Amino acid sequence: MEATKTKLSFEEALTKLETIVESMESGDVPLADLLARFEEGTKLLKVCETRLKDAELKIEQLKKQKDGAVGFEKFEASRED
């Protein structure tokens, strides 16, 4: 099962994590199941954090300038509300 979690994409892990949180928030989960879901959610959170950190490092590498210095630019996310 651990190998499966490392193969999850960020989006898959986040979706599963959101499902777990919603079920835990419902209040209808027995304590034993609640603890198991909390443990699974913690593992999924680590997967998400790892994927985000990897993406951040890739972006930094892509933005690396010719002289070896890293140039950071402000990222403007476009939102369509």
Domain count, the chain: 1
**Considering the domain boundaries, does residue 40 fall inside one?**
yes
Residue 10: which of 50, 65, 68 has the closest Cα? 50
What is the C-alpha to C-alpha distance for residues 1 and 3, in angstroms, rounded to an integer? 5
Task: Give me the domain span that covers residue 44.
Answer: 2-62
Tens of pLDDT, residue by residue over 40-58, are 999 999 999 999 999 888 8
**Considering the domain boundaries, does residue 70 fall inside one?**
no
Q: What is the DSSP letter of 26?
A: T
The reply to whether the predicted model has a pTM over 0.75 is no
Residue 9 sits in a domain whose CATH number is 1.10.287
pLDDT band per the 50, 70, 90 thresholds, residue 38: very high
Residue 42: which of 15, 20, 23 has the closest Cα? 20
Q: Residue written as tokens 């990897």? A: 54
What is the C-alpha to C-alpha distance for residues 81 and 74, in angstroms, rounded to an integer? 21
**Considering the domain boundaries, does residue 69 fall inside one?**
no
**Considering the domain boundaries, does residue 27 fall inside one?**
yes
**Considering the domain boundaries, does residue 73 fall inside one?**
no
